[in-house]
Amino acid sequence: MLKIKGVSKTFNMGTVNEKKALNKIDLQLEEGDFVTVIGGNGAGKSTILNMIAGVYPIDCGYIYIEDENISLYPEYKRSKLIGRVFQDPMMGTAADMEIQENLAMANRRGFGRGLKWGIKGNEKEMFKEKLRKLELGLEDRMSSKVGLLSGGQRQALTLLMATLQKPKLLLLDEHTAALDPKTAKKVLQITKEIVEADQLTTLMVTHNMKDAITYGNRLIMFHEGEIIFDIRGEEKSKLKVSDLLQMFENAVGEEMDNDTLLLSKD
């Protein structure tokens, strides 16, 4: 579903601020893979997601989604294939538009500007049904402005919007990190339900090692712009936080502590 081959990225090349963020990344995701992504601050997690989404051009290598080489596609063209949710609950939705208007906008993604903005009756029913499944009571507030919602409600809505037109790939960059623990758990549960129901191929960045172990069928760890582990299937399901810490220490020869890695263990 996703194939990344030899992708590197250096920011501010040739200046004193030169920073190699990604070093010859190879990564292949099968259809339906739900991959959790961990690693310390500055390891390259957001950069790889940004490369896939086309936020910045890659220095070398290529990126395929299914059989399509998207390496040179502009960001807007990739957005038809990719759903994204970021850390900031304010980013994915339009605050001064109604819940149902936001959903209608998401439902027209990739269909050009010719379409009318009016919400059709059958669409409304579909939105209501999808909102009901979130169990946040939003199905009764479809004409409320999104700006009135809590951070968690907005992230849940953003998730729904990102997946309304089934994307080939779903990219989640610490999308629960700005929420309180209880809300984060709820949004993660919703994420799991949506990903499993639609069998979405997903990359989910998290700083929480426990979540990285609990969710998904595969786990990758970034360190200094490289993938240092890629664990899947049964091996992943048996993994404990202490194993991950040990593997990190073995791999990079330094103790994982909060200064170097800043990974939350609970």
Ligand X SMILES: Nc1ncnc2c1ncn2[C@@H]1O[C@H](COP(=O)(O)OP(=O)(O)OP(=O)(O)O)[C@@H](O)[C@H]1O
Residues that bind Mg ion (CB under 5 A): 46
What order do you get walking across the sheet with 2-11 strand by strand?
19-29, 2-11, 60-65, 68-69
| Two tokens, residue 11 | 């920011």
CB 213 within 8 A of CB 219: yes
Residue (38 or 156) nearer to Mg ion, CB: 38
d(CA 175, CA 177): 6
Q: CB of residue 133 vs ligand X: minimum separation in angstroms? A: 30
Q: CB of residue 73 vs Mg ion: minimum separation in angstroms? A: 22
Q: How far is CA 236 from CA 55, 199, 205, 216, 241, in A?
A: 31, 19, 16, 9, 11
Q: CB of residue 117 vs ligand X: minimum separation in angstroms? A: 34
- Should residue 41 be labelled a site residue for ligand X when binding is judged by CB under 6 A? yes
- Should residue 45 be labelled a site residue for ligand X when binding is judged by CB under 6 A? yes
**Within 203-232, which residues bind ligand X (CB under 6 A)?**
222
Q: CB of residue 144 vs ligand X: minimum separation in angstroms? A: 32
C-alpha angle 17/19/21, rounded to 5°? 155
- Should residue 102 be labelled a site residue for ligand X when binding is judged by CB under 6 A? no
Residue (130 or 223) nearer to ligand X, CB: 223
> Which residues bind to ligand X, rule: CB under 6 A?
11-12, 19, 21, 39, 41-47, 222
